[in-house]
Structure 1
Amino acid sequence: MFTNPVGSILAKADGFMKNKLSDIPYSVLDLSPIVAGATAADAFKNTLSLAQHTEKLGFNRFWLAEHHNMPFIASSSTALLIGHVAAGTSTIRVGSGGIMLPNHAPLIIAEQFGTLESLYPGRIDLGLGRAPGTDQRTAHALRRNRNNGQEFPELLEELLSYFNPDLLDHKPVVRAIPGEGLSVPVWLLGSSGFSAQLAGQLGLPFSFASHFSPDNTLPALDLYRRNFKPSDTLEKPHAMVGVNVIAAETDEKAQYLATTLQQAFLNLIRSTESPLPPPVENMDEIWSPYEKAALEQQLGSSIIGSKETVKAKLQKFLDDTNADEMMIVSQIYDHQDRLRSYEIVAEIIEESK
């Protein structure tokens, strides 16, 4: 299978349009889905299985996302699950895609990821978002205040200073131990322009959520690159783009498997709380024309199909975004079908060399 550089975010982008799919690394975003008829314990077993599988296939990173009060996502205690995955793997980078910074005290995050980096040195990433990752009532239960992410730049500054006290103009009064002095790569995540611009100004790597915000992808990437200032972290921009990929042996089977993803987003629109549903033969029996149009827009960048179809669409996506890295999201009901989808992506990359 394909082998991508596991290396750090410090690798320099070449600054030119990449022509081949094999020119960039590929990573995994897993939501640790709880499928209908299963439990969170089952989801965790599948998450570790997927991490081990994609590690063997040569994927670069395996990220987990913080969500709360969602019956189909088990990764609410994200740092704990990152530790579980890192313990069960050996080379793949493991991290957060992301930790929702306004939900937590920066000191707690620095200590948690300082602990993870101490246990699994050189393998931990800290991706940060400013959204709550949940509904407003749950956000209030987590935060006990309603800052709506407005304090994100200040919280980020505080967090970075725990890892590197030299950023302060005074001797630190509170220290993150473990955490202080450790090199934990910090990424900013976003689905709009705010974090793109901030990541550029700070010289940090940026990951965009094209898998649910396709219309903002190119403007956000342009904003990030135009605002980028070299830093001790990066000399040139490093943009990773998340994309839904559902690959199968035929276009028809892939479209069938994709109805799970469509139903999951439909449940969000309808505020329906349920585990990840099995695929169905006909979505037109479930959604209204308005809902179909809304979902087609929100999931517009999704890549669904056979190996040939996915290869062509991945290449176009790379040409359009000039991404330095892609993060593959595959919300598939059956675990074996999900493993196979990532295998097909790996085969595509290998064949494109």
Structure 2
Amino acid sequence: MFLMTKTPDVNLSVLDVAPIRKNGTAAETLRETIALGRGTEEMGYHRYWIAEHHNMPAVASSATSLLIGQVAAVTSHIRVGSGGIMLPNHAPYVVAEQFGTLESLHPGRIDLGLGRARGTDPWTARALRRGETSGKDFPAQVTEVRRYLGTATPTQRVRAIPGEGTHVPLYILGSSTFGAALAAQEGLPFAFASHFAPDQPLMALEAYRDHFRPSEQLEKPHAIVGVNALVADTDREARRLFTTLQQKFLTHGRGGVEFLPPVDDMSRLWNPHEKATVSAMLRVSAVGSPHTVRTQLRDIVKRTGADELIVQTETWDFEARLRSYALLAELWAD
């Protein structure tokens, strides 16, 4: 495998939601997640983040910290983390203990990306926390996690062990100006979820940079932009493979989420309104041959000023997914 060595100004990273094929198994998907982490490290990607989702038959990324540990155990230098942990679903103290443990096992390689969306239904939220939760106290929760992972004070009665003193780097994830403002205020890196929420990235990133205050973790703003990307030998083949993700968003709009094989013609599956809705949600995407995707990604970087792109690629066939990431690494190094 080739190693990505060029384009030092903008790193490429990977976001994995661990998709489960229709009629497939979670075990199969989890094995592929581990293999993808190992493969993308060999290709030279900067970091590998795993999402958090619950009660979704087509997604296996529910126990995010466990998966991070599995990927970190089979890799040696790629950064591994959460994209992200949804704090309303968890006690900040437990999150600090889990990521303190991961950092203790894999020092200097663990990232803690934090989000405020529950990302699920009220019943699942209650099952997770045994009560009503919201994102309103997200800033206080971030502060709490940060305190547990920092240097303990002599009067601190509750300590995260492992955790305290590890200073695991925090990242704020968001799809609006709320997360941008918090990341700026706290002096943390900010990752915008353009890959499914493309409406406000420029406004949010501008606010983040304008109001950024340096911190011990970060001296200047660091903006990460989420992008859907799919690379194949030809534009036509890439567009066909991309119909798997289009169908996933289509079925989500109809009240469920299914991970389905690609089709030759999406016009049979959606009506004009659904096509417009799905296309709008996926408009921050780079799909095509290496030449096409290189041009599209450079345009995204130019428009957003991204310091880093974090790429989500979903294909029905795992080998096609690996090949897409390999072609992407190669074209980014040229």
TM-score when normalising by structure 2: 0.97
- Unaligned stretches of 5+ in structure 2? none
Tell me the residue number matched to 1:128: 114
1:287 to 249, 270, 276: 270
Contact 2:294/2:331 (CA < 8 Å) preserved in 1?
yes
Q: What corresponds to 2:318 in structure 1? A: 335
Aligned to 2:203: 219
Q: Distance in 1 between matches of 2:33 and 2:290?
A: 24
Aligned to 1:161: 147
Residue aligning to 2:250: 266
Higher relative contact order, structure no. (Cα contacts within 8 Å, ≥ 6 residues apart): 1
1:307-346 alpha-carbon deviations (Å, 9 max, x no partner): 1100110110111011111101001110000001001111
After superposition, where does 1:95-134 map in structure 2 within 5 Å?
95-134=81-120
What TM-score do you get using the length of structure 1 for normalisation? 0.92
Listed as ranges, the gaps of 5+ residues in structure 1 are: 5-19
- Out of 128, 134, 156, the position equivalent to 1:148 is 134
How far apart, in 2, do the equivalents of 1:48 and 1:121 lie?
Answer: 19
Alpha carbons 1:2, 1:349 under 8 Å: kept: no
Identity of aligned residues (%): 53
Residues 3 and 43, structure 2, Cα contact 8 Å, conserved in 1: yes
Cα distance in 2 between the residues matched to 1:307 and 1:142: 42
Q: CA deviation at 1:183?
A: 2.3
- 2:44, 2:128 → 1: CA distance? 36
CA contact (8 A) 2:13 2:48 kept: yes
Q: 1:121 to 1:165 in 2, by over 3 A?
A: closer
Cα offset, 1:140, TM superposition: 2.1
Q: SS at the partner of 1:214? A: coil
Paired position in structure 1 for 2:287: 304
8 A Cα contact 1:110 1:179, kept in partner: yes
Residue from 75, 89, 104 that aligns with 2:75: 89
2:163 and 2:30 map into 1 onto residues whose CA distance is 26
Choose the corresponding residue for 2:227, options 230, 243, 248.
243
State the partner residue of 1:50.
Answer: 36
Aligned equivalent of 2:303 = 320
In the TM superposition, what whole-angstrom CA distance separates every residue of 1:61-107 from its partner, at most 9, and x where no partner exists? 00000000111110100000100111111111110000001110011
Instruction: Using the TM superposition, name which of 36-45 and 249-258 deviates more.
Output: 36-45
Q: 1:138 aligns with which of 124, 135, 143?
A: 124
- Could you say what secondary structure the match of 1:328 adopts? strand
Following the alignment from structure 1 to structure 2, what is the Cα–Cα distance between the partners of residues 219 and 136? 30
* Alpha-carbon shift at residue 135 of structure 1 (Å): 2.0
DSSP-derived class of the 1:125 partner: strand
The 2-side partners of 1:81 and 1:47 are apart by 8
Tell me how far apart the structure 1 counterparts of residues 140 and 151 of structure 2 sit (CA, whole Å).
15
Find the aligned partners of 1:272 and 1:80 in 2 and give their Cα distance: 26
CA shift at 1:35, angstroms?
Answer: 1.1
1:51–1:89 contact (8 Å) kept in structure 2: yes
The DSSP-based 3-state class of the residue aligned with 1:66 is: coil
For this pair of structures, how many residues does the alignment match?
333
